[in-house]
Amino acid sequence: MAALSKNVEEMLMRLADNARTEQDFVMTLSDAIRRVDEQLLRDVRNVAIQHELRREAILGELQDLASRLCALPVRTPIQPVAAIDQQAYQQQEPGHQARAEIEAALNGQAGADWRQAAQNMHDEFEFTFNGQQRH
């Protein structure tokens, strides 16, 4: 029995030593995590400060650019330049050309011969298909 109580005491001593060792490990780990957490917090604050400084610098540059753009001299408006055909068209009275086109169509001066158009299509097909009939 004495041997049993001696073994129990040895087990209690080892258990107490293991508990102290594990407690030391937990404390060391806790200190390391706290240090890393504080370093991360400092880094995040530095990044936030740097971001704010860059944002303020960009905002200042944009405001300078806006003030310079408003300070540019205003361009004087130029007279529109008409094309050659446009000048001749504008010299006619309004609606004159439309009336002339309608009158030409009614008099038979405008338009094309449908027979000639059909012959042109036939010639085009012959040229495209090398004179060979397709059907």
Query: What whole-number distance in Å separates Cα of residue 113 and Cα of residue 120?
Result: 11
The arithmetic mean of pLDDT across residues 113-119, rounded, is 77
Q: What is the pLDDT of residue 4?
A: 85
| 3-state SS assignment for residue 134 | coil
Instruction: Render pLDDT for 30-83 as a digit per residue (tens, 0 to 9).
Output: 999 999 999 999 999 999 999 999 999 998 898 888 888 876 565 666 666 555
Strands (E), 34-73: none
User: Residue 88: is its pLDDT beyond 60?
Assistant: no
d(CA 76, CA 105): 46
| Domains in the chain: boundaries | 43-71
Cα distance from N-terminal residue to C-terminal residue, the chain: 120
Contacts of 111 by beta carbon, 8 Å cutoff, 6+ apart = 105
